[in-house]
Amino acid sequence: MSPSTESGSIDWEYAPAPESEAIGRVKDRYLPFIDGKFIEGGGDDLVTINPGRGEPLSTVSTVDEADLDTAVRAARRAYEGPWSKLSGAERGKYLFRIARGIAERSRELAVLESLDNGKPIKETRDFDVPTAAQHFFYHAGWADKLGHLGYGPDPRPLGVAGQVIPWNFPLLMAAWKIGPALAAGNTVVIKPAETTPLSALVLAEIIADADLPPGVVNVVTGAGDIGAALVGHPGLDKVAFTGSTAVGKQIQQTLAGTGRKLTLELGGKGANIVFADAAIDQAVEGIVNGIFFNSGQVCCAGSRLLVQEPIAEELITRLIERTETLRVGDPLDKNTDVGAINSRAQWNKITELTQAGIDEGAQVWRSSCPLPDKGFFVSPTIFTGATQTMRIAREEIFGPVLSVITFRTPEEALAKANNSPYGLSAGVWTEKGSRAMAMAARLQAGVIWDNTWNKFDPASPFGGYQESGFGREGGPAGLAAYLDTDDEAVIK
Amino acid sequence: MSIAVAKTYKLYVGGAFPRSESGRTYQVTDAGGSFMANAVQASRKDARDAVVAARKGFGSWSKATPYNRGQVIYRIAEMLQSRQPEFVELLITSRGVDRSEAAAETEAAIDRLVHYAGWTDKLTAVFGSANPVSAPYFNYSAPEPTGVVAIIAPTDAPLLGLVSVIAPVITGGNACVVIAAEADPCVAITFGEVLATSDMPAGVVNILTGSATEIAPHLAAHADVNAMDLTGADDELARQLEVAAAGTVKRVHRPKGRPDFRAAPGTIRLRSFLEIKTVWHPTGAPSLAGGSSY
């Protein structure tokens, strides 16, 4: 079936280009990493699923509460022992080593992440893994420069941090959490998500190979009950969580009155605003990136498209044409644009909310790209005629589902965009720089993208307003989450 | 001999001095235990009215220029200076402190306001950043006000403590609803008179008097309150308020101990009520002008 120009009969049928699964070096069984050792946990094993096929991928030993105690104690010993005795420069050298270790195993990590999470290999290869390495590299450099942050000449770490991360960017979220925590001088106990534990455990191998002192980083495995036990553990000084707003609220309640520092990075319903003067081709690319990157399983996804009325019809037509060209399918295929949904549970949630949109009267369009007959896949979906009160315009769907709403004036766009309890991301498409800046100033969101979307950098602080959480990750502001910055004098 | 005209102490909400819609009052005693005044026992409804006023005040205050905000806060210091003798007498009467201590507290309060007046146009430079991202974008992070802040005022420093919790909140461009120390409503409402004559837009600062235990839970659960300062709350009330605040992911500031308001204030009270907003704006080659965003 190879294309032939000589015969004149070119075969234009789609030819898959799958990456080799063997590169991921998936093991039969993975163990939690506590006090510098990979140990059998006391909990029941969990089977992690390959969402691209809907089949088991590997087995992971999970921890029980006794193991959690062991991990927190190990982190405390490491904090009070070797870690706090190190200079910032020496701490930084360990982080540089981890950054290098990730880069050296990047092909393996990209394949493993794609297999365990279901996202396309081109995303893990070009974004998740290199950005994770970059996060360690960036934060490594802060370790001996904390005195320049503006919290006094020698700001102190908090101690032991408990961190719970989500399944949508498993390795990258681990890097976002561990990098600044260690750079600031803390030790960590981190729990990857139940459905995506593998890349964090390979990161633990990289950390072990980097010879970090035992207990500085502990990776514990398990489901939500272990996450809840971790964040409520009295042996912690700091809790960091990325995940749903509902769970974030529970954690904030759990920590009430404890004085432990908390940062939350929660849900969103990002408003992507397109003005009539926008460069439409670029806006279309940005809208596609905003909602179909990682199948829309992104807290800062541009899931609400606000289009100015004069161009609404043309923009929607071109958006649908472009979306129709997206290839949905095997995450390991290097041509795949939209991969699998991470889990059956998430697939159900997306399906349920999509049905709600149909039931509430929005017009639905779905890509005709054929879906694989196995695995958890959702066709790219665009709702037009959505109104502000519909569930698809208010609730975080966390899937490849876009709701389109129109507006006439900038004031109306602002009012609609800001009419949400969330406030994580927002974006503006316009050729007028002054309008872009004025909109950026008035949008109630922690990250604003002008004429772009889903840009991330370790040097750039990321985090939400309102019910999208508090605290920042990345940049100088992100270090504050892991330092004692309370400089008010108290009466002894 | 003429009879003194005693002041009626009311609430300070939306730039006006209303009584409680509930009609309730409570008696305030002086340091010697004698009757001093009737104060307003604010209700849940008063608290909700104050949040509405604060949201309105936030609209104009958060859009005011930093220079303007600084001038207004400096004006508060001026007004407090001109009424310093009145506050000295109030502190002597209500707290039983000697004249020099009362003078010291009022002077410290004036200085605190001057300190914060100079902060408004430096927050962005000090707490913001230009971020060197590895892509062709101009990327910056700047602090913005969180919104409406509910404050439980400290109970041990009627004027200096009150000023020390209000000033950093409004310096950042926030509006606030303050529950004054229950025992010191007279100082708090007299300070409201200072605010009312300081060019401060109505609703930026709202002062309720009465019981924090009664009023604060309503503010902690209120969806239009964005943040809380629990400085004046005891351990049990603070825990209860933190639980309620979690329902809408409010930012909560609680000092690590009893603040020493006579010391230099640091910046934690400013930072606790600021949000960092990051903006990505494309840069690119000038030759790509004409139909291109890049």
Question: HSE-up of A314 (CA within 13 Å, CB side)?
Answer: 13
Could you say which of A19, A194, A299, A300 is catalytic? A299
Nearest-5° angle of CA A347, CA A350, CA A356?
140
**Nearest-CA distance from B289 to chain A in Å?**
10
What pLDDT is attached to residue B7?
86
Average pLDDT, integer, range B126-143: 96
B135 in reach of chain A (CB within 8 A): yes
Could you say which of A19, A265, A396, A467 is catalytic? A265
Q: Do B139 and A459 touch (CB under 8 A)?
A: yes
B282 in reach of chain A (CB within 8 A): yes
What pLDDT is attached to residue A492?
78
* B289 pLDDT higher than 70: no
Q: Residue B282: its chain A contacts at CB < 8 A? A: 450-452
Q: Residue B268: its chain A contacts at CB < 8 A? A: 485-488
Active site residue A265: yes
- CATH value of A271-457 in 3.90.550.10, 3.40.630.10, 3.30.2130.30, 3.40.309.10: 3.40.309.10
Q: How confident is the model at residue A81 (pLDDT cuts 50, 70, 90)?
A: very high
* B294 pLDDT higher than 80: no
What pLDDT is attached to residue A5?
52
Interface size, chain A vs chain B, as Cβ–Cβ contacts under 8 Å: 160
**Nearest-CA distance from B283 to chain A in Å?**
10
* A413 pLDDT higher than 60: yes
Lookup: tokens for A236: 């912690």
**Nearest-CA distance from B251 to chain A in Å?**
7
What pLDDT is attached to residue A13?
83
Residue A98 backbone dihedrals phi, psi, to 5 degrees? -65, -40
List the beta bridge partners of residue B276: B143
Active site residue A55: no
What pLDDT is attached to residue B288?
54
ipTM of predicted assembly, 2 dp: 0.96
> Which residues 254-273 of A are in CB contact (within 8 Å) with B?
255-257, 259, 264, 266
Nearest to B256 among A266, A279, A486 (CB): A486
A21-266+469-482 homologous superfamily: Aldehyde Dehydrogenase; Chain A, domain 1 (3.40.605.10)
* Average pLDDT in chain B: 95
Average pLDDT, integer, range A345-353: 98
A434 in reach of chain B (CB within 8 A): no
> The sheet that has B205-208: what strands, in order across it?
B205-208, B175-179, B148-152, B227-229, B251-253
| Cβ burial A413-451 (10 Å sphere, 16+ → b, else e) | bbebbbebebbbbbbbbbbeeeebeebbebbbbbbbbbb
* Average pLDDT in chain A: 96
Helix (H) or strand (E) holding A369: none
What pLDDT is attached to residue A14?
85
Domains and CATH numbers, chain B: 25-282 (3.40.605.10)
Nearest to A490 among B137, B139, B259 (CB): B259
What pLDDT is attached to residue B292?
47
Domains A21-266+469-482 and A271-457 share a fold: no
Q: How confident is the model at residue A7 (pLDDT cuts 50, 70, 90)?
A: low
* B291 pLDDT higher than 70: no
* B272 pLDDT higher than 80: yes
**Nearest-CA distance from A458 to chain B in Å?**
8
**Nearest-CA distance from B263 to chain A in Å?**
6
User: Residue A80: which residues within 8 A CB-CB, separation 6 or more?
Assistant: none
| Cα–Cα distance, A335 to A358 (Å, whole number) | 31
| Cα–Cα distance, A208 to A295 (Å, whole number) | 33
> Which residues 157-216 of B are in CB contact (within 8 Å) with A?
none
Q: Which of B144, B224, B225, B278 to mutate to test the interface with A (most CBs of A within 10 A)?
A: B278
What pLDDT is attached to residue A12?
82
A491 in reach of chain B (CB within 8 A): yes
Q: How confident is the model at residue B5 (pLDDT cuts 50, 70, 90)?
A: confident
| Cα–Cα distance, B37 to B10 (Å, whole number) | 11
> Which residues 124-143 of A are in CB contact (within 8 Å) with B?
134
3-class state of residue A365 by DSSP: strand
Nearest to A470 among B249, B258, B277 (CB): B249
B165 to chain A: closest CA residue: A488
User: How much of chain A exceeds pLDDT 90, in percent?
Assistant: 97
Identify whether the C-beta of residue B233 lies closer than 8 Å to the C-beta of residue B152. Answer: yes
Q: Residue A429: its chain B contacts at CB < 8 A? A: 293
User: How is chain A split into domains, by residue range?
Assistant: 21-266+469-482, 271-457
pLDDT in tens, B14-29: 999 999 999 999 999 9
Q: Residue B139: its chain A contacts at CB < 8 A? A: 457, 459-460
| Cα–Cα distance, B46 to B38 (Å, whole number) | 17
Q: How confident is the model at residue A1 (pLDDT cuts 50, 70, 90)?
A: very low
What pLDDT is attached to residue A118?
98
pLDDT in tens, A186-199: 999 999 999 999 99
| Cα–Cα distance, A51 to A295 (Å, whole number) | 13
pLDDT in tens, B52-81: 999 999 999 999 999 999 999 999 999 999
pLDDT in tens, A359-409: 999 999 999 999 999 999 999 999 999 999 999 999 999 999 999 999 999
